[in-house]
A and B are shown apart, each in its own frame.
Chain A
């Protein structure tokens, strides 16, 4: 009995303390714990315990970082940064021979819109395409390794902001111009803008066998800016839509001069028809590229008038409608593909502009949607019921509305100023309706301060209940323009690179490691393993490379640790050389030993308990 008193009083004190410090006395408000019975709390909705994994991958473009950011959803944890258009010392991307050649000497890229490969309008989880507004490149990344396999520099298309969008069976990805320029980017005075400048749209194909990209053909377009685009689906599968601005053809002070007209256009085109014309030889061949000129041939291109300077144009999952977002006009316009096809059949054409017929607005438009006080609509995503979610840049919110009626269903404020948003499988024919992420341009004081420039912010919104709710917020480096979200089980990665006995540069057995001299070239066939480099198995010091000043040094390095996650790095102190070899992989590093001296080389990617000992020397004998 005597012992029971302190025990009981101890428990009581504990309860009291817990009540005082942790109880929630608020009876109303938006407290996260105030959820209906049975529903998970906000924290539970985004918490992924160790041993479990996220439901979705989100691939966010990294804007002018030239990188791709891979996130898990709903945890919003950043899983990986994949370099695409810029060199990256963390992975040695742009340092080894292959990726250095692939980057083509550019030190940066501006990656705007990622796009998954598709099969029957569904993401197939095989490839991701990326486009570079800065240097007119397009890249393909293999989703079995998360490594870029090819980069193609596309001629004529200058600043492919309006890309990439992929047709429903990945037949093409299209890259239309943001900036108009003379063909081949040759010099021409801006006074000759209307006659010598053009927009270009490139149709790019990937050869799945070689994983190489190629320009199939291009279309010469009026000298306007082409902003965003989407490929049709199902009934509209052979079609695609592109927004335009600066149909004023202004050449300076665009902010004012490209915003004068009340209407710009949506370019509507049938890519099957264009493809057919190329096949029939109706395209000109200029500098080796087949180019269709709508001034010369009736081309399968149409213009649809739209409220001025639209930004996004998005095709509904059923492929029946396309929705333009006004940007400067406070409304979304719903157009009908079926009405457009009807208008084309019945020749409802009001005029021809630069050889392209303009369809009668009223014959194609279904409704204008103007949610109260919603300003700056930019881009629309969809859920599993076909409902639309449009980001409002100026009023900083996402508005949910019904494309069938135009009725506003819900709205949620985001912090702050969303550009694009991405919903789960949102660009496919069957969005999941689980989540939408707002890609916000401003974070302000959401996170700990890091100086005058703040990170961007991504906010996860739960779509499972009727009321949209922000359930997670994650900072991100500059600057995701767009993202796509794919069900995690669609992506099938490999654990190690398989042995390739046909690769003459690969060395899988220590006894084959060797250094060969051919004139003033030194070829190293080496391997990396926990925890050493073997460059020459017969040498007194197997981990030393000795060359003469001025020699060209070619180092082939194979990681023979065929073990999950055991990556080795290879850096040369003072020589600005750095590569990585993933398990089973062989890479080649090429450089000229242009300075004599003693240069330690070492493993840069922590691989084992004796990683610190994983080093050798590059000795360069003076001339």
Chain B
């Protein structure tokens, strides 16, 4: 049996659980497309359960370079992601209540695994969209992989990819979990 965690750590974990819960409702990641004709920019915004932004227009334009269509139906992740995050939040809440150091390690392990899988999944999609271009497309461009974060140029578009509020909350939740471990370091 590991020793019980302090009240402060418990509070940290409880807050981390709440943050994860809230993050389900917020955008996690986005990409903005800016072109001379679209100085206001076109957005794709990814929530754990939906896609938002001017997807139809982006799809309409992307067909010129033979890119597949973005749609919520393509991304099955959106069907179960809210439950995964919800489960994590509940687990964190349990850790806050039980206040056992062992659960903390499990939690951190899950965060690391989940985060890695998430990033891998995004890379997979970005690679798939940027490289599996229809060979019959009217405009031929070299395959490309847009970065998960930062600037890229495709034809007349400059894209900016960025993490958003949901991811920030998850980051904060992870730090809170680490903080509670650090609080217990002398024990």
| Residues of A that sit less than 8 Å from B by CB | 529-530, 561-563, 608-610, 613
Contact = CB atoms under 8 A, between A and B. Distances in A.
A613 B138 contact: yes
Contacts of A529: 60
Contact of A609 (B54, B56, B60, B64): B64
A43 B64 CA distance: 44
Contacts of B56: 562
B61 A530 contact: yes
Contact of A563 (B60, B64, B138, B139): B60
Interface of B: 54, 56-57, 60-61, 64, 138-139
A609 B139 CA distance: 10
Contacts of A610: 64, 138
13 contacts: A529-B60, A530-B61, A530-B64, A561-B57, A561-B60, A563-B54, A563-B57, A563-B60, A608-B64, A609-B64, A609-B139, A610-B64, A610-B138
B138 A530 contact: no
Contacts of A609: 64, 139
Nearest to A532: B63
Contacts of B64: 530, 608-610
Contacts, number: 17
Contacts of B61: 530
Given A561-B57, A610-B64, A613-B138, 4 more contacts: A562-B57, A563-B57, A563-B60, A608-B64
B34 to A, nearest CB: 15
Nearest to B57: A563
Contacts of A561: 57, 60
A492 to B, nearest CB: 18
A608 B61 CA distance: 9
A92 B64 CA distance: 28
Contacts of A562: 56-57
Contacts of B57: 561-563
Nearest to B40: A564
Nearest to A51: B39
Contacts of B139: 609
Nearest to A563: B57
Nearest to A610: B138
A562 B56 CA distance: 8
B47 to A, nearest CB: 21
A467 to B, nearest CB: 41
A476 B64 CA distance: 41
A563 B59 CA distance: 12
A608 B139 CA distance: 13
A357 to B, nearest CB: 63
Contacts of B138: 610, 613
A562 B64 CA distance: 17
Nearest to A508: B56
A563 B139 CA distance: 21
B36 to A, nearest CB: 12
A610 B61 CA distance: 11
Among all A-B residue pairs, the 6 with the closest Cβ atoms:
A563-B57, A530-B60, A610-B138, A561-B60, A562-B56, A529-B60
Nearest to B155: A609
B71 to A, nearest CB: 12
A530 B139 CA distance: 14
A563 B54 CA distance: 9
A97 B1 CA distance: 82
Nearest to A529: B60
A568 to B, nearest CB: 12
Nearest to A608: B64
Nearest to B138: A610
A610 B137 CA distance: 12
A382 B60 CA distance: 51
B14 to A, nearest CB: 45
A455 to B, nearest CB: 33
A537 to B, nearest CB: 15
Contacts of A608: 64
A582 B178 CA distance: 56
A334 B54 CA distance: 59
B138 to A, nearest CB: 6
A613 B64 CA distance: 12
B30 to A, nearest CB: 19
A613 B137 CA distance: 13
A610 B138 CA distance: 8
A187 B104 CA distance: 100
A563 B56 CA distance: 9
A370 B54 CA distance: 63
Contacts of A613: 138
A529 B59 CA distance: 11
Nearest to B60: A530
A529 B69 CA distance: 15
A60 to B, nearest CB: 30
A538 B56 CA distance: 22
A584 to B, nearest CB: 11
A230 B7 CA distance: 81
A133 to B, nearest CB: 42
A334 B21 CA distance: 75
B141 to A, nearest CB: 13
A613 B138 CA distance: 10
